[in-house]
């Protein structure tokens, strides 16, 4: 398989279009047409990880965090980022990053945290806005089902756990073809009335081009009438963080100690304990202080995240326990998720879980 072909498998799990606008995801180093000999999965791409890839004869590194985040103006090896890129290029190793595309996935970073902590029935904490679009088009009655099926096949009409969702109404369409036209029905220069079906479907924004291609290919008319609108509907399957419930409620201290053990956290920084039972828990891997208000609105008893600043702990305001367990700690199991996912997709391929501990923070 080529780097491009393997990347397509990752993007089924976490389409790059789902990444945040500030992020740098996708293939960062290497030739997309290079043949892949082996894959090394890591949380961070450091020099030690590139050395490990060389040793294991892996020429594709799939990293959660992007090694290139800001623009590089030179490659002289003056810092760890430049040294990683230079070594990867010198050894013909490609580097691919998923980062916030996987953060926003329904089965990504936060889903894995919920799995480790036995948080049941998790839902998206902060749904990504303006990601659902609606297509309205018109097809002749005899061709409508053919057009609908082509749109379904391209990914339109998916709503939560349902697919092939649409709404249709019948009516009469009219048009008059000019002398330059080549109409499939009707005559040039004459007004034509045709029994048509108005077809309405929603779709996820990143599928728009594929869906329009399917529309134009399947539709019999020379000129296709259609509208695409952006909806304000909540996308229940895409966004940051998750919130769910414990099977059995726990004391706050007992729950935090369980989190510490299961997440291998060296220490947990938390706001004041409230003396309440913990039943509902919100999580957000990585730097998640921006979601404190959302966690409170979700009625979570505890919010587990990382990189919370001093003054941000005050935002708990006696309504929630904010628990900072460490950036690496919240995301460490992500690489296991990626290895498991790709092993199922290509079971006979050489896929390795990096043994390098890339956590830059140490505890006494």
Structure tokens at 320: 């929630």
Q: How far apart are CA 228 and CA 272, in angstroms?
A: 49
**Residue 51 assigned as binding residue:** no
Helix (H, G, I), strand (E, B) or coil at 211: helix
**Residue 331 assigned as binding residue:** yes
- Strand segments, DSSP code E, in the chain are 26-29, 39-42, 60-63, 94-97, 119-127, 132-140, 167-176, 191-204, 226-230, 239-251, 269-270, 277-287, 302-306, 321-324, 351-353
Map 11-74 to HEC letters.
Answer: HHHCCHHHCCCCCCCEEEECCCCCECCCEEEECCCCHHHHHHHHHCCCCEEEECCCCCCCCCCC
C-alpha separations of 251 from 90, 145, 279, 288, 347 in Å: 54, 57, 9, 24, 42
* Cβ atoms within 10 Å, residue 231: 13
Whether 94 contacts 106, CB under 8 Å: no
**Residue 143 assigned as binding residue:** no
**Residue 219 assigned as binding residue:** no
C-alpha separations of 130 from 23, 204, 236 in Å: 18, 9, 12
Q: Name the binding residues for a divalent metal cation.
A: 65, 103, 327, 331
Q: Name the binding residues.
A: 65, 103, 327, 331
């Amino acid at each position: 398989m080529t780097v491009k072909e393997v990347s397509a498998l990752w993007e089924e799990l976490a389409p790059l279009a789902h990444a945040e606008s500030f992020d740098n995801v996708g293939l960062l180093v290497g030739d997309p047409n290079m043949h892949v000999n082996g894959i090394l999965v890591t949380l961070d791409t450091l020099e030690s990880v590139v050395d490990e890839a060389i040793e294991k004869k892996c020429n594709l590194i799939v990293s959660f965090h992007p090694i290139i985040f800001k623009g590089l103006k030179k490659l002289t090896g003056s810092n760890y980022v430049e040294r990683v890129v230079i070594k990867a290029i010198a050894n013909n190793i490609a580097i691919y990053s998923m980062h916030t595309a996987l953060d926003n996935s329904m089965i990504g970073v936060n889903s894995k945290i919920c799995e480790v902590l036995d948080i049941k029935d998790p839902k998206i904490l902060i749904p990504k806005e303006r990601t659902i679009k609606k297509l309205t088009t018109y097809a002749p009655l005899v061709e409508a089902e053919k057009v609908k099926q082509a749109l379904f096949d391209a990914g339109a009409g998916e709503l939560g756990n349902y697919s092939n969702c649409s709404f249709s109404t019948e009516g009469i369409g009219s048009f008059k073809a000019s002398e330059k036209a080549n109409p499939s029905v009707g005559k040039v220069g004459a007004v034509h009335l045709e029994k048509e079906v108005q077809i309405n479907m929603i779709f996820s924004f990143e599928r728009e081009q594929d869906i329009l291609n399917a529309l134009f290919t399947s539709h019999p008319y020379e000129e296709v009438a259609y509208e695409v609108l952006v909806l304000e509907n909540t996308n229940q399957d895409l966004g940051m963080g998750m919130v769910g419930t414990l099977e059995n409620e726990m004391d706050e201290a007992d729950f935090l100690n369980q989190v510490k053990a299961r997440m291998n956290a060296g220490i947990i920084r938390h706001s004041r304990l409230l003396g309440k039972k913990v039943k509902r828990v919100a999580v957000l891997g990585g730097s998640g202080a921006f979601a404190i208000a959302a966690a409170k609105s979700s009625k979570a008893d505890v919010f587990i995240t990382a990189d919370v600043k001093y003054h941000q702990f005050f935002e708990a305001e006696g309504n929630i326990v904010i628990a900072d367990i460490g950036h690496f700690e919240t995301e460490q199991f992500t690489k296991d998720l990626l290895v498991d996912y790709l092993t199922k997709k290509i079971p006979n391929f050489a896929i390795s879980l990096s043994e390098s501990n890339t956590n830059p923070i140490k505890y006494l």
